[in-house]
Amino acid sequence: MIGEKILNYRIDSLIGEGGVGTVYQATHTQLGRTVAIKALNPTLVNNEQVKQRFRQEATTLSNLQHINIITLYDYLENEKGLFLIMEFAKGEALDDFIKKRPIPEEQVRYYFSRILDGMEYAHKKGVIHRDIKPSNVIITEEADAKILDFGIAKILKEGKNTLTQPGAQLGTVLYMSPEQVQGQTVDHRTDIYSLGVTLFEMLTGKPPYDETQTTEFEVFNKIINEPLPALNTFKEQLSDRMQWLIDKATAKNPAERFQSCAEFKEALLKQEQAPAKTVNEAIGGKKELRPTQVKATNTGQEATTAKPTSTPPKKPTNEGSQGNKGKGNTGSRPKKGMSRTPLYILITILVVLTGFLIYNELSGDKKGSRTLSENTTKDTVKKAEDNTVTNDDNNNKTNEKSEEDKKREARQARLDSLIARKKRLNDTLKLVKRQRLDSLRNALLVDGRLIEPEDELAEGITVEVELRNTREDVKFKSIVISLKLYNDAGVEVEDHEHKYGDLNKEVNQSVTFRITREIEASKYQCTLKSVDIRDLNPPKKVDSLNKVITKLEEEIKSIEDN
């Protein structure tokens, strides 16, 4: 179909194909607006059920006007088929976005909050998507998220035919809720389950189940009976808060899930720390621990208490002290008249002298031994003291070095943490600014109208351009318009750049001007090429982020200087 026209749209290129239809990129021949056209597969044109679902997608989208949902411009049925003419969102599908890069947790929060905004709006309109998955979300070049493909959406209105047969299973298996895989009644909490699985994939880079290694029946069984695998089995260093969010969103019982996308978003954007899981933890107490019983090891012997044993000293034996007791003297009796006193005196003197000599000898040995012992003890004590001083010095040096290392490591860890946080905040700031600029840029409407020449013989082409600012909080400076001209065959013959300047009109007041080109052309495309956007009321979040980043920079500099 490339090159053909559908209404005022020229089909330029193929975007993608699926089982139900094909999506093309096209351009409005008068306005120059780029759109996406979804065409029903020609082989299904005679399938009434499929045609009815295609029409329902058009009906559903026509009632949804939200920045995070693809907008429907028109619907057409003719002899060529059935066509949805929709907003063209330049970017890439979320599943491709996930595969190409790991997404930081802070960015996951941002993108996922945008998806939740769109789904909260749809649910309030009574629409259930029923096929939420990464491939049905576009991440735009302006860092926004847009939900698409409401082909099997269910409209919750009393008496409304939902086009779903009893027991039918609609959706993509990996992202289905337990009630979906069992063909039960579904409501908006089914989308919340699928959103939880989508969040799991955004964080880990992979879906929870590997279709190449698991049969569809096994996946069904896991969805019904088992919780999703833990995040840390796929990727480490993810917060406990994220694990709690996914556990709650994908609870088997819908009543235990988040009851709205608004509630889901509020929990998502809260600070870290998962909720306490017990009453004791919730009031700030410590988690209760049960006592652990350790079974004793049987060694076959009883333990006994060792008691000191002492052998009482034996009574000394004095042999010979009474050796002659009870016996008569065998010596001669002294002669009468001779005195034994001098002999006793002499013996006494000899005994005393001998004892004195022995005493002196023993006293001298003890004194020498004591002196030697004292000297040895002093030397030992001195050496021990010297060793103690040396060891203390070494220990002090080691402790000082250890303390310095600890301080240095702690300082470096703090610095790394601050730098990482600053990077995350800068990334968030860029996303917020890009989103803001995209929103402001869309406030500048650029339109063109072909002016028929008064003289039929006149050559060239004239286009009347209209500019209009639709917001009060922005001014547009240095506006440059791109005017592309095409011949009858659709071949581009000129890309003209027109510098308009500043738009000074009041809000919603149009300014028009004409561009004439002396060239043979029959078609044109008029678009905004560039503009200087002056934000008159920047979001408070930008100012808040800038202040936090400035404080972080000051703290980082302080640590680096010290």
Residue 245 CA to residue 258 CA, distance in Å, equals 9
Is residue 143 within 8 Å of 431, Cβ to Cβ? yes
DSSP H stretches of helix in 250-340: 261-269, 279-282
Q: Between the CA of residue 405 and those of 85, 391, 410, 417, what are the distances in Å?
A: 66, 20, 8, 18
Residue 434 CA to residue 414 CA, distance in Å, equals 30
Percentages helix, strand, coil for the chain, rounded to the nearest 5?
A: 40, 20, 40
Using DSSP, how many helices (H) and how many strands (E) does the chain show?
A: 11, 17
Q: Which two tokens stand for residue 345?
A: 């005196």
Residue 444 CA to residue 232 CA, distance in Å, equals 46
Is residue 463 within 8 Å of 450, Cβ to Cβ? yes
**441: exposed, middle or buried (Cβ count in 10 Å: 0-12, 13-18, 19+):** middle
Cα 401 from chain centroid? 37
Set 131, 144, 149, 191: catalytic member: 131
**Catalytic status, residue 131:** yes
Residue 451 CA to residue 448 CA, distance in Å, equals 9
> What is the enclosing helix (H) or strand (E) of 60?
helix 48-62
Residue 276 CA to residue 287 CA, distance in Å, equals 10
Question: Burial code of 125-136, b = ≥16 C-beta within 10 A, e = fewer?
Answer: eebbbbbbbbbb
Q: Which two tokens stand for residue 404?
A: 């310095």
> How many residues does the structure list for the chain?
562
Which position has the token pair 């639709």?
470
Q: Given phi > 0 = left and psi -120 to 50 = alpha, else beta, which region is 221?
A: alpha
SS3 283: coil
Closest among 53, 72, 50, 77 to 61, alpha carbons compared:
72
Q: Which two tokens stand for residue 258?
A: 């988040």
Q: Between the CA of residue 553 and those of 55, 286, 427, 557, 560, what are the distances in Å?
A: 55, 37, 15, 6, 10
Q: Which two tokens stand for residue 333?
A: 């009796």
The sign of the torsion formed by the CA atoms of 469, 474, 478, 481 equals negative
Q: Which two tokens stand for residue 482?
A: 């791109």
Going by their DSSP bridges, the two strands 21-28 and 9-17 should be labelled as antiparallel
Catalytic residue ranges: 131
